[in-house]
């Protein structure tokens, strides 16, 4: 038995009764259809549910009360993660209703930082499959495998190869927690229909010996292979996905630098795709800096910027800031890059260093002598902005943070590494060491800091501010590609949504509880840009924002009636 139009689970309208031809336990076992105790008396008769659920009919609000009571009994964050995953697996609508109404409380659980711990333990806490796995042994069969996924409309694929999960390194197939978590945020924050999302894990093996020795590890127990085979499978995946779901947007997630940049470079012009670690992280950081410029009443073109870290996130952020400087001041890209100093494991990134540079670092390499330590680089550069994307916790020490005060009355200090243990410094440290003068943001959440009779609210440079809106907009207008200009527009739009009251609290991002409104506004801006640049695949609607809002998924139960066979 199957749902009418079984591959259209999105249930796009609840204004009309939906005909269902599955009955009984099959309805309760389908998370996209299940309403649990919320099935009405009429639905219980029509769908053969009488006796299969408790007799009391409850509404979704009572169900939420029960969920939250049980959720808050859990004291361990990983147990909360497991609890929410179980809810996700049995009642999709209720899960997203709970998530959207408790976003500030639950985002750190379903995504960073707790998702990192969940990925580390993925094989040990595994309950039920969600998404698809492609291994190196599936070469030549990927298109055939995609027919096993019973949805004909997929809007967003998030794919990871598990090679660089947050700041935790190579977690192989355990990295599936990242695409699942990202897509949960797409639904809750961006209004993508749950059934139109597909998490994929590209399992090319792992070089993590601890996982290879773990009998409960669910990936292939092999070391990662050579690049030639790797790129052949990636290419097969892209072609198969586009053939199976022609309108799909592909988001690359948590790939190591040596693969992230080449993959993005190869496909970005011909395939609707983006890399969130490169472009999304860059846009959210740029938005934070634009907010910082509003506080300081200064221009980005007048800053001196040090990046502690020179990986894909660092260069993605730097590239986006360069685009912002060019747009803001008319400065050339070459001159804008001269405002940046990047530091990697060897020290200051220079052209004549001790070893060849990775290609993505070359545009930011300096014609200077190499300087090893961060503190020494700061003394040399005299920066106004310090950005941490190193994955090295507690590296912004008190002397380093205080040194920043010598070059700016309000130094901008962004400690963006995830999870919390990898953050270069905490919000409290940044505020206390600068007597509240620092403009601080982080990758992971920190609580507000009370100091000197004031409350300082640290901004979280959460990619959730950017990627749901960009993905939603590009998907809705059926864009042919995602451009850097779209990400710049997203960053600018986000920065403009920070209120004066929020700036007074020293925060550079708007309230995350407004994420659906934020995502809709960003999506409309992305759509407008696609229409203006001739990249959209549909006709421009009269009111773009209204079009976006009406297209967003809302976690509400539909009404069912029995279908005639």
**In 91-193, alpha helices (H):** 92-101, 103-110, 114-120, 122-125, 142-146, 177-190
Give backbone dihedrals phi and psi of 190, rounded to 5 degrees, phi first.
-115, -5
Instruction: Say which residues have a Cβ less than 8 Å from residue 178's Cβ, sequence separation at least 6.
Output: 115, 119, 158, 160, 162, 165, 166, 253, 254
Query: 77-90 and 92-101 helices cross at what angle (nearest 10)?
Result: 140
Rounded distance between C-alpha atoms, residue 354 and residue 386, angstroms = 25
Q: Are 295 and 384 in contact (CB under 8 A)?
A: no
Residue whose tokens read 């897509």: 183
**In 31-91, alpha helices (H):** 41-46, 60-71, 77-90
pTM, whole model, 2 decimals? 0.90
Residue whose tokens read 């945020």: 185
Greater model confidence, 564 or 7:
564
What pLDDT does residue 10 have? 40
Lowest mean pLDDT among 191-200, 313-322, 352-361, 491-500: 352-361
Tokens describing residue 565: 């066979």
Rounded distance between C-alpha atoms, residue 206 and residue 210, angstroms = 10
Mean local confidence (pLDDT), 247-264: 95
> What confidence category does residue 16 fall into, taking pLDDT thresholds of 50, 70 and 90?
low
Residues comprising the chain, all counted: 565
What pLDDT does residue 58 have? 97
> What confidence category does residue 2 fall into, taking pLDDT thresholds of 50, 70 and 90?
very low
What angle (nearest 5°) sits at the alpha carbon of residue 419, between those of residues 489 and 387? 50
Rounded distance between C-alpha atoms, residue 5 and residue 8, angstroms = 6
Mean local confidence (pLDDT), 348-364: 87
Burial of 246 (0-12, 13-18, 19+ CB in 10 A): exposed
> Is the confidence at residue 407, as pLDDT, over 70?
yes
> Is the confidence at residue 3, as pLDDT, over 80?
no
3-state secondary structure of 564: coil
Q: How far is Cα of residue 17 from the mean position of the Cα atoms in its chain?
A: 35
Q: Give the domains, in start order, of the chain with CATH numbers.
A: 62-255 (3.40.50.10380), 275-565 (3.40.50.720)
What pLDDT does residue 564 have? 64
Residue whose tokens read 């953050």: 423
Lowest mean pLDDT among 77-86, 267-276, 346-355: 346-355
What pLDDT does residue 94 have? 98
Greater model confidence, 76 or 4:
76
What pLDDT does residue 400 have? 98
Output the CA–CA distances (angstroms, integers) from residue 29 to 22, 25, 62, in the order listed. Answer: 11, 6, 21
What pLDDT does residue 197 have? 97
Mean local confidence (pLDDT), 87-111: 95
> What confidence category does residue 257 fall into, taking pLDDT thresholds of 50, 70 and 90?
confident
β-pairing, 197-203 vs 156-160, is parallel
> What confidence category does residue 22 fall into, taking pLDDT thresholds of 50, 70 and 90?
confident
> Is the confidence at residue 14, as pLDDT, over 60?
no
Greater model confidence, 16 or 434:
434
**Is the Cα dihedral 108, 91, 149, 523 positive or negative?**
negative
> Is the confidence at residue 75, as pLDDT, over 80?
yes
Active site (catalytic) residues:
111, 182
Residue whose tokens read 């200009």: 485
**In 389-483, alpha helices (H):** 398-404, 427-433, 467-476
- As a whole-number percent, the residues of the chain with pLDDT over 90 amount to 84
Burial of 534 (0-12, 13-18, 19+ CB in 10 A): exposed
> What confidence category does residue 8 fall into, taking pLDDT thresholds of 50, 70 and 90?
very low
Side-chain half-sphere of 420: how many Cα atoms within 13 Å?
13
* pLDDT tens-digit readout, 105-147: 999 899 888 999 999 999 999 999 999 999 999 999 999 999 9
What angle (nearest 5°) sits at the alpha carbon of residue 552, between those of residues 546 and 558? 120
Residue whose tokens read 């053939």: 243
Lowest mean pLDDT among 2-6, 75-79, 256-260, 481-485: 2-6
């Amino acid at each position: 038995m199957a749902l009418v139009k079984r591959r259209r689970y999105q249930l796009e309208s609840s204004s009309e009764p939906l005909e269902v031809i599955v009955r009984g336990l099959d309805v309760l076992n389908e998370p996209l259809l299940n309403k649990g105790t919320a099935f009405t008396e009429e639905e219980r008769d029509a769908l053969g549910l009488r006796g299969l659920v408790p007799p009391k009919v409850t509404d979704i609000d009572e169900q939420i009360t029960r969920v939250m009571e049980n959720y808050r009994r859990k004291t361990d964050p990983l147990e909360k993660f497991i609890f929410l995953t179980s809810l996700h697996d049995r009642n999709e609508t209720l899960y997203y209703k709970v998530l959207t109404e408790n976003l500030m409380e639950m985002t750190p659980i379903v995504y960073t930082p707790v998702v990192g711990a969940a990925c580390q333990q993925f094989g040990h806490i595994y309950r039920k499959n969600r998404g698809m796995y492609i291994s190196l042994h599936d070469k030549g069969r990927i298109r055939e495998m995609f027919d096993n996924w019973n949805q004909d409309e997929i809007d967003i694929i998030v794919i990871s190869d598990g090679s660089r999960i947050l700041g935790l390194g190579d977690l192989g197939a355990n990295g599936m927690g990242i695409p699942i978590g990202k897509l949960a945020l797409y639904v809750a924050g961006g209004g993508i229909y749950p059934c139109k999302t597909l998490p994929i894990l590209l399992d090319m093996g792992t070089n993590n010996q601890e996982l290879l020795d773990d009998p409960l590890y669910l990936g292939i127990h092999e070391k990662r292979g050579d690049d030639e085979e790797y790129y052949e499978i990636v290419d097969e995946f892209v072609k198969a996905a586009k053939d199976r779901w022609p309108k799909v947007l592909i988001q690359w997630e948590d790939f190591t630098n040596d693969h992230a940049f080449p993959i993005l470079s190869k496909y970005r012009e011909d395939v609707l795709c983006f890399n969130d670690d490169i472009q999304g992280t860059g846009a959210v950081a740029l938005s934070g800096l634009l907010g910082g410029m509003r506080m300081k009443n200064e221009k980005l073109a007048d800053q001196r910027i040090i990046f502690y870290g020179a990986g894909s996130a660092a260069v993605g952020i730097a590239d986006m800031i360069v685009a912002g400087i060019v747009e803001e001041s008319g400065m050339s890209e070459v001159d804008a890059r001269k405002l940046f100093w990047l530091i990697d494991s060897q020290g200051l990134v220079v052209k004549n260093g001790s070893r060849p540079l990775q290609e993505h670092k070359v545009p930011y390499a300096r014609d200077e002598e190499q300087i090893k330590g961060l503190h020494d680089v700061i003394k040399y550069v005299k920066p106004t902005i310090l950005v941490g994307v190193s994955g090295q916790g507690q590296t912004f020490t008190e002397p380093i943070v205080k040194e920043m005060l010598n070059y700016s009355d309000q130094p901008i200090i962004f400690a963006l590494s995830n999870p919390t243990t990898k953050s270069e410094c905490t919000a409290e440290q940044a505020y206390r060491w600068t007597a509240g003068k620092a403009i601080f943001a982080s990758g992971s959440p920190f609580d507000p800091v009370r100091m000197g009779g004031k409350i300082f609210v640290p901004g979280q440079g959460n990619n959730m501010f950017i990627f749901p809106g960009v993905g939603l907009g590009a998907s809705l207008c059926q864009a042919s590609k995602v451009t850097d200009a779209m990400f710049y527009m997203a960053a600018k739009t986000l920065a403009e949504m920070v209120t004066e009251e929020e700036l007074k609290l020293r925060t550079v991002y708007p309230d995350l509880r407004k994420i659906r409104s934020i995502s809709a506004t960003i999506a409309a801006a992305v759509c407008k840009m696609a229409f203006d640049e001739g990249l959209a695949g549909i006709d421009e609607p009269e009111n773009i924002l209204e079009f976006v809002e009406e297209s967003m998924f809302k976690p509400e139960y539909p009404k069912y009636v029995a279908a005639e066979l």
